Structure 1
Amino acid sequence: MKALRAFAPASIGNVSLGFDVLGAALAPVDGTRLGDEVEIKAAEHFSLDVLGPFAHKLPGDADSNIVTKCYHYFCEQMEKAGKPTSPVALTLHKNLPIGSGLGSSASSIVAAFAALNAYFGNPYDEDTLLFMMGELEGQISGSVHYDNVAPCYLGGMTLMTGAAAPLTLSLPLNKDWYYAICYSGISVSTSAARDILPKQVDMATALTFGRQLGVFVHALHAGDFSLAASVMKDVIAEPYRKSLLPGFDDARVYSEQAGALAFGISGSGPTVFAVCPTKEQADDVAEYLTKHYIQNEDGFSHVCQIPTQGTLVTDVNVTDI
């Protein structure tokens, strides 16, 4: 019997300067698998089991779980296309905290769709799958956006095009940058973090946002990483969202004094990230964040880089799941 496992990594949404249009995958340098996993195998009836350190944070009713909704949505699309499906047993390993700013819901969604697509013979291409992932992500956050699902699925740093195809573009990476990331342990819902934002921005802010994003993309392609780092400032969301994050300003001051090139909020928060030119500096910042930014026992810090590999689907022995 065929059985598969899909691992979908954590991600940084916005990457400070790219509100809703820029995202990056994350991979801890110590080999920790920071992301959700979905296992799939044949079954007489559909079922979903939820395991992992943050499973208890999800609704106990499997029908309310986003992975169940992914399965039904996938089957509906297959039926419309005249393609067969069959019942499966899914297991979600919920390794990412909910409301963390690490793309937790995106990770579950991406892993679920990647597992389903591979199990049923890869009927959908990359852009179609991304569209499906965005639709389901929108059910949680209240609006369709791809800044977590795209890098989670594809890896690397991705820029959303706003077009039907390609949905995203892959940006060049600086392999020497390290990202000290820290989840404080508290929860910030994406919808609440969006509600705190103004409904309109003034002309000066809009011009700054556009200039920074344009300069950043150019600088990455030109290999001018110093220039790229200089514009990694959030003028859209951070001024409002940082009020939800205890210790944010102090963490920024320390990180910059320790040599960080940029510091910001990952997605809606409360996770923060510091871009550092060396691993030693990233280790230093991560140690500070662990001591001073974490609020409870759920919090954690990692030193990461941006992986070129996104979601990984592998065969597993059916007796192991």
Structure 2
Amino acid sequence: MAVTAYAPASTGNVSLGFDILGLALKPISGELLGDRVSVLADAEEFSLELAGRFAHKLPENAKENIVYDCFVGFQQAMAEQGKTIPAVAMLLEKNLPIGSGLGSSASSIVAALAALNAYFENALDDESLLRLMGKLEGQISGSIHYDNVAPCFLGGLQLMLESKDKISLSLPTFDEWYWTICYSGASVSTAAARDILPKEFSIKTTIDFGRQLAVFTDALHRGDRELAAAMMQDVLAEPHRKSLLAGFDQGREYAMSQGALAFGISGSGPTVFAVTNNKEAAEDIRSWLEQNYIKNEFGFSHVCKIDNDGTTISEAK
């Protein structure tokens, strides 16, 4: 039976957890903010159809697409279990812009592997599948890290553990928080965003980073919203990366003037996010960012909640 997997957008770092924290996002409007991948049928050779708002940004050759790499990776994982699987016909609905800071590559990878696993009778358990997702993501970014693939697959707010037995831990969250995100329409590569960072940080910055992450995690578990929000300041990446984001400081100034609890860069940018505790403020900030931060017709802004479902599977239509 043909199957479709939907994998939501995600924001890595969440300001205070560089490469360690990530959360999945779901617009309150009900719109989809994530990629969908379908496995349609067995085939004599691999094929891939493209659809969606950002499909034109992808290579036309199916074997140059990350979804093909996912199929090859899954096929190899099956071979390690002594199983042979046929080639398949697949469909990628590309709804997330590339280089947006919303986990675009992670969304395609997670949806593709989840769809393949469902199509082939869930041959891999979740932990094995997640590790394969991280491996494929590493092929794009240059190093394996899970702060996008883990929340995209599992949902919620994830703290990266990366032990030999478990990749990530789910953290408690505050249901009343709204996450306003805005993609400017520009593109910032993960590699460029990493290159702009210092190779070493001072002892003070390192201590500040550790303290914030520890206090934030503790505040989540104790339900201390005010303290958790106070910790959401990026001492590592933002001071350097914000120079790549035109209008970032003005966006922060406006968001904070409207009562935002926090404002930061989503992943490597250029998407920014604001956290508020009421819908009216979230919508007001969304409207301002839409008018002042978006640079071209590809930009967009949404008021979101945390997507606790993560990747979902349905019958392909």
TM-score, length basis structure 2:
0.98
2:70: which partner in 1? 70
Query: After the TM superposition, which residues 36-185 of structure 1 pair with which residues of structure 2 at under 5 Å, given as runs?
Result: 36-42=35-41, 43-185=43-185
- Counterpart-to-counterpart distance in 1, 2:280 and 2:83: 52
SS at match of 1:291: helix
Q: Which blocks of at least 5 consecutive residues in structure 2 are unaligned? A: none
SS at match of 2:89: strand
Q: By how many angstroms is 1:162 displaced?
A: 2.5
Opposite residue 21 of structure 1, the aligned amino acid is I
Give the secondary structure class of the aligned counterpart of 2:290: helix
Task: Give CA deviations for 1:236-262 in whole Å, capped at 9, x if unaligned.
Answer: 110111000000000000000000000
Q: Give, in angstroms, the shift of residue 173 of structure 1.
A: 1.1
CA contact (8 A) 2:40 2:91 kept: no
Report the AA paired with residue 6 of structure 2: F
Q: Residue in 2 aligned with 1:10?
A: 9
Partner of 1:243: 243
For residues 76 and 228 of structure 1, the distance between their equivalents in structure 2, rounded to whole angstroms, comes to 43
Distance 1:280 1:96 in 2: 26
CA-to-aligned-CA distance 1:117-171 (integer Å, 9 cap, x gap): 1111111111111111111111111111000000000000000003122100000
Corresponding residue SS for 1:274 = strand
- Report the AA paired with residue 51 of structure 2: L
Mapped to 2, the partners of 1:63 and 1:76 lie a distance apart of 16
**Alignment match, 1:35:** 34
1:199 paired residue number: 199
Distance 1:165 1:281 in 2: 41
User: Which ranges in structure 1 are unaligned for 5 or more consecutive residues?
Assistant: none
Aligned length: 316
Quote the Cα distance in structure 2 between the aligned partners of 1:175 and 1:288.
24
Q: Over the residues paired in the alignment, what is the CA RMSD in angstroms?
A: 0.8
Aligned to 1:26: 25
- The 8 Å contact of residues 7 and 152 in structure 2, kept in 1 or not, is answered as yes
Indicate the SS of the match to 2:180.
strand
Q: How far, CA to CA, are the matches of 1:222 and 1:254 in structure 2?
A: 30
1:44 Cα deviation after fit: 2.7
In the aligned structure 1, how far is the partner of 2:234 from the partner of 2:68? 35
Moved more, 9-18 or 77-86: 77-86
Q: Is residue 310 from structure 1 mapped to residue 310 from structure 2 by the alignment?
A: yes
AA of the residue aligned to 1:301: S
CA-CA distance at 1:86 after TM superposition: 1.5
SS of residue paired to 1:26: strand
* AA of the residue aligned to 2:291: K
Structure-1 separation of matches of 2:126 and 2:38? 20
Tell me, yes or no, if structure 1 residue 291 matches structure 2 residue 294.
no
Measure the CA separation in 1 of the matches of 2:215 and 2:17: 12
Amino acid at match of 1:65: N
SS at match of 1:303: strand
**Which residue number corresponds to residue 190 of structure 1?**
190
For 1:191 and 1:153, the matched residues in 2 are separated by 23
CA offset at residue 103 of structure 1? 0.3
Give the Å deviation of 1:222: 0.4
Q: Deviations over 1:66-123 (max 9, x none)?
A: 0000000110111121023122111000000000000000000000000011111111
Residue in 2 that maps onto 1:261: 261
The residue identity in structure 2 corresponding to 1:312 is T
CA–CA separation in structure 2 for the residues paired with 1:13 and 1:23:
4
Q: TM-score, normalised by structure 1?
A: 0.97
- State the shift of 1:199 in Å: 1.0
Percent identical among aligned pairs is 61
Instruction: Give the 4+ runs in structure 1 shifted more than 4 A.
Output: none
| 1:214-244 CA-partner distances (Å, limit 9, x unpaired) | 0010000000011100000111110111000
